[in-house]
Amino acid sequence: MQEFKIKKSSISNAKKIKQLNLFITGVGNVGRNLLEQICKQKEYLENKLNLQLNVIGISNSKKMKLNLNGIKLSDWVAELMKGENANSLEFMSRSKEMNLRNSIFIDNSDSAEIANNYEYYLKNGIDLVTCNKIACSDTYSNYQNLKNLAHLHNTSFLFETNVGAGLPIIDTLNNLVASGDKIISIQAVLSGSLNYIFNNFQKENSFHKIVQNAMNEGFTEPDPKIDLSGIDVARKILILARESGEKIELSDIYNESFLPKECLKHDNNEEFLNSLSKHSNHFNKILIKANKEKCRIKYVAEFNNGKAKVGLKNIPKGHDFYNLEGSDNIVLFFTDRYRNQPLIVKGAGAGAEVTAAGIFADIIRIGKQ
């Protein structure tokens, strides 16, 4: 009888590297940090996650650079400066024409024009990651259309950094909903800038100075009224309500503004700060009342029973919001499973570095699919 020896087939040790091709719009503080993080993590991503990130396109409001072979991250600033004049429609069409597998468009801007292009990217099979809140806080029909397009074309539409910078707030909410849990209510402090301002507002007649400091430190938007009017927080709780399954519009959210109406009329920042100083007594009364009640002032967003509101609240000692420091954010999810003790997400909710980290995490999430 002939003896057969089974020869073990040689298994290749070669790793299969998955290439992600990135098209990045917006290279301000967040975009710069993102590119630095990608550059630093290059070796780790290849060795540990079998991912290679190639930056194919970079654009800001003035210039854009696209290179099919990739842009050297060690020299991206010079490469961009030598690029052609920026055109968002041209950048969009060429990203499609390159027809690269695993293409991801990343929006680090606050541009409505860029947000209007999301539909095109999703329809053409390009994944999308954004920290720009405009699309998801637009009309419910537009928000739902983008979600539907991503599902229809098997593309990812990720916007974790719309709420809480790099904190896993939306991801946590999505996991709760996907696992069949029911959201009963959400309570949150979602503005790092307002938390910073009211944490430091401890002396009378100092409110306008603290707002000025917050502006100087980069905690507020270039137009601080966006933060102080509460509209930014309203957009964030709107997004969380929608991700919970609620059909809700921005106009449905009750915004109890703490600013005198006159302050909101000024377009110039210097005039705005002067108006805050002029109304010092108004802000002093807010502080005096909180101190009398032995409370701390927080700007709180709430979603409960299909309704949402934002506004100042005096938080007593012992509450989860009371010791929230600096520019941190916190979200309490009350659900069927977390009815008595909420699921809490807490941490740094503002800043270019942590926002970039959140965008980076969304990119990696797509790569690992």
Residues identified as active-site: 236
- DSSP for 94-142 reads HHHHTT-TTEEEEE-S--HHHHTTHHHHHHTT-EEEE---TTTTS-HHH
Give the 3-state secondary structure of residue 179: coil
**Which value, to the nearest 10 degrees, does the dihedral of the CA atoms of residues 251, 253, 258, 263 take?**
-20
Residue 306's H or E segment, with its range, is none
Distances (CA, A) of 210 to 75, 125, 162: 38, 46, 25
If you search the block for the tokens 């409110």, which residue do you land on? Answer: 207
The answer to whether the CB of 167 falls within 8 A of the CB of 161 is no
Cα 145 to Cα 140: distance, rounded to the nearest angstrom: 8
Q: Which of 195, 237, 188 is nearest to 343 (CA)?
A: 188
Cα 98 to Cα 68: distance, rounded to the nearest angstrom: 7
Structure tokens at 287: 């502080």
Give the 3-state secondary structure of residue 342: coil
Structure tokens at 348: 């740094």
Cα 301 to Cα 156: distance, rounded to the nearest angstrom: 28
Give the 3-state secondary structure of residue 345: strand
Cβ count within 10 A of residue 199 = 17
Cα 228 to Cα 121: distance, rounded to the nearest angstrom: 34
